[in-house]
Amino acid sequence: MKRKKRVLVGMSGGIDSSVCAAILKKRGYDVIGITMQLLPKEMEKESKCCNSNAITDAKRVAQQLNIPHYTINIRDDFKHHVIDYFVNEYLLGHTPNPCVECNRYIKFDALDQKAKELDADYVATGHYCKITHSPKKDRFFLKKAKDIKKDQTYFMYMLTQYQLSRTLFPLSDYTKPEIRAIAESLQLINAKKKESQDICFVTMGNYKEFIEEQLTSPQKEGNIVTNSGEILGKHHGLYNYTVGQRKGLNISYEHPLYVLKINAQKNEIVVGKESDLQQHSFEVNEYHLINKSIFNEKKEYSIKVRYRMIPFKATIKLESETKMTIHSHSPLKFITTGQSCVIYDNENVIGGGIIV
């Protein structure tokens, strides 16, 4: 008798990952549920999503679906690659995206490692993304999900060909209401569970307070200056500011001031007019192209520099193996160092990187 294809499903205790496991079981896979312990224990109690209740929910859903379930502890890796990175980036005046780093270093790496241990063919998650395959070219492609409101490809641009070949996203052709309806039809214990949009480790909803709690010593005060170097006031920590910020500067001036740049080397906040925020190009580092062979520097692509935004059109020049330059036809505002820049060609995700 031919062995069923085995798949490890990352189960967070939420509806999406639970229905992901249910769909794959119905399709005939040998499904195993995996829940990751991510947060330090002192944070776990306060988190709205990654807490002990979530682990219990995942175990109970696995029992309902009659599939085995395991819990793995990767707290140390999560703290190093996600929490410490998050804090250090803000201290450098950057605005990081912890979900991208979690997918890059934690979720898919940990699942794949466990899949090898359990002789599984695939890993799967409840993300809203789509993977297609071209047998002729022997290439995999990452595409937007059916539910554009829930599409999560922005956080997945770093996936490699190997990872795409071993990953299943069964929610790709469903909308969120359809997934919730499936959960209710199966009478899953978490069918009415609400979603959390918060950063899992920022338990009180205020990232500035979270950063201050992680500091061993207070950040030094620095100057708030104009582009010409005129000192207008003092700041109380670079992490309190983001590019484009207007409120909270506590400076009286002849016209409204906006944060133009955060200079960690000089410990300065540079401010100016709103028009000074406009730029037509910016650099992206640590980039990854899912299918480099189909990338065309002469082609115009759609670009997102924030998850919830309308893409803008731009051309891209590869400067080196690690750096690219994005050239937009229209002026841009609020290009923020540390955020992810993701490149699309209609429904296809071409790749992306970190804005520098």
For residue 49, indicate whether it is catalytic: no
Burial 324-354 (b: 16+ CB within 10 A, else e): bebebeeebebbbbbbbbbbbbeebbbbbbb
Residue 119 corresponds to which amino acid? Answer: D
Residues 83 and 222 in one domain: no
Percentage, residues of the chain above pLDDT 70: 99
Same domain, 108 and 162: yes
The CATH number of the domain where 163 resides is what?
3.40.50.620
Alpha helices in the chain (DSSP H): 15-26, 41-44, 52-65, 75-78, 84-91, 98-102, 108-117, 161-165, 176-185, 207-214
- Residue 124, pLDDT above cutoff 80: yes
Please answer whether residues 343 and 351 qualify as being in contact, where contact means their C-beta atoms are separated by less than 8 angstroms: yes
Does 289 fall in a domain?
Answer: yes
Among 282, 271, 269, 296, smallest CA distance to 331 is for: 282
Q: Are residues 287 and 270 in the same domain?
A: no
Q: Is residue 193 part of a domain?
A: no
Q: For residue 219, what pLDDT band results from cuts at 50, 70 and 90?
A: confident
Query: Domain end: 164, 185, 206, which one?
Result: 185
pLDDT band at 240 (very low <50, low <70, confident <90, very high): very high
Q: Looking at the DSSP assignment, which residues form a beta bridge with residue 349?
A: 344
Active-site option among 20, 49, 99, 102: 102
The active-site residue, picked from 49, 99, 129, 200, is: 200
Tell me how far apart the alpha carbons of residues 250 and 171 are, in angstroms, rounded to a whole number.
47
59 and 140 fall within a common domain: yes
Of 185, 204, 233, the position where a domain reaches its end is 185
**Contact yes or no for 54/31 (Cβ under 8 A):** no
CA distance 328 to 287: 18
173 has pLDDT over 90: yes
Model confidence at 318: pLDDT above 90: yes
pLDDT on residue 215: 87
**Domain range spanning residue 272?**
218-276
Q: 153 and 265: one domain?
A: no
Q: Indicate if 69 and 174 belong to the same structural domain.
A: yes
Q: Are residues 235 and 300 in the same domain?
A: no
Q: Assess whether 223 and 333 both reside in one domain.
A: no
User: Model confidence at 51, in pLDDT bands (50, 70, 90)?
Assistant: confident
pLDDT for 296: 94
Q: What is the pLDDT of residue 49?
A: 73
Residue 209 lies in a domain: no
Q: Which pTM was predicted?
A: 0.93
Mean pLDDT of 193-222: 84
- 144 and 243 both lie in a single domain: no
Give the tens place of pLDDT for each residue, 52-108: 888 999 999 999 999 999 999 999 999 999 999 999 999 999 999 999 999 999 999
pLDDT at 1: 62
Q: Is 341 a catalytic residue?
A: no
**CATH value at residue 334:** 2.40.30.10
Question: How many independent structural domains does the chain possess?
Answer: 3
